[in-house]
Amino acid sequence: MTDHALTVRPVTRDDAGAIALIYNHYVVATVVTFEQEPVSADAMAQRVADVTGFGHPWLVAERDGRVVGYAYAGPWKLRFAYRFSAETTIYLDPDATGAGVGTRLYEALFAELRALGKRAVMAGIALPNPASVALHERFGMRRVATFSEVGFKHDRWIDVGYWQVLL
């Protein structure tokens, strides 16, 4: 899908460096991921391979030839009974926030999840994060749980909320 030079497409191995660059901003500067150390392009390529090798979608948003965001869905849990459930993840280049990139990525991701026959979709959000909450709720997701002070990063405790939608 294309809109004003924004293209959403399946990930390729060549995207790993750009994805790592986006993700590493959040690793270093925020608490939205609990990872502590930046991730190499090779490590990110392996993560992409793990997700797509499991048959789950990983999409990137590209504007003017540059990756400005990505979203993917992985298994919610590995037990067979969970095969119709998925957990989503989305990250945007900080310069691309508020421009509809997240909405476009999730539109495409949710369409892929429906095509795969997924039923339940969950997302974990480090709190507070009003922009992420708004994006997830735009797609019909509702808060189903909050885990208090389950993460500790940048010298503070962080709550994590879980949002869910049935497709």
Consecutive 10-residue runs of the chain (167 residues): their mean pLDDT? Answer: 77 97 98 97 97 95 96 96 98 95 98 98 98 97 98 98 98
Residue extents of the structural domains in the chain: 2-166
Q: What is the pLDDT of residue 4?
A: 58
- For the chain, state the CA radius of gyration: 15
For residue 8, CA distances in Å to 5, 22, 27, 87, 106 come to 10, 16, 24, 19, 10
pTM of the entire structure?
0.95
Element at 85 (helix H, strand E): strand 85-92
* Of 61, 48, 52, 56, nearest in space to 8 by CA: 61
Q: What is the pLDDT of residue 22?
A: 98
> CATH number of the domain at 2-166, please?
3.40.630.30
Q: What is the pLDDT of residue 5?
A: 87
For residue 40, CA distances in Å to 16, 17, 36, 91 come to 9, 8, 13, 16
Residue 103 identity = T
